[in-house]
Amino acid sequence: MAKALVVDDSRAIRRILAGILGEVGFEVCQAANGREALEVLDRERATEAVSLVLADWNMPEMNGLEFVQAMRADARNESVKVMMVTTETQIEQMLAALQAGANEYVMKPFTREVIEDKLRILGLLPPSGGGA
């Protein structure tokens, strides 16, 4: 089972995202900020490494952008897919996140369908049915 890490200082958002990810087949870990998320990545590497991170931007201690930069500085995280899930809607923030190493960007509020669509774009879910 693939492992995902949800990083957000809001317990409610972590619970919602963990629910969506769990229903599509991910084992989910959670962290409340970027520092805690780096610790979780290191700890989980001992069993089965995390393959997906969903991270908020605005968090205490270490924000999402700082977390993505720190995570990408470690070559062991090169293959981890990163999706920013944030209220930051300005194009400058989106570009900064992508330049830092995020693979996708989702603006809050989000729907389950948006998260699933982004997971398909990242190649982590099979394409939705619908015929050709």
- Cα–Cα distances in angstroms (integers) from residue 121 to residues 11, 103, 105, 124, in the given order: 26, 10, 11, 8
Is it true that the peptide bond before 127 is cis, omega within 30 degrees of 0?
no
Q: 3-121 is classed in which CATH architecture?
A: 3-Layer(aba) Sandwich (3.40)
Domain boundaries, the chain: 3-121
pTM score of the predicted model? 0.94
Comparing C-alpha atoms, which of 44, 9, 10, 8 is closest to residue 27? 44
Express each pLDDT in 37-91 by its tens digit.
999 999 998 888 899 999 999 999 999 999 999 999 999 999 999 999 999 999 9
Question: Does position 129 have pLDDT exceeding 90, yes or no?
Answer: no
Q: Which residues contact 66 (CB under 8 A, 6 or more apart)?
A: 34
What is the C-alpha separation between 15 and 9, in angstroms, rounded?
Answer: 11
Check residue 101 and give its pLDDT: 97
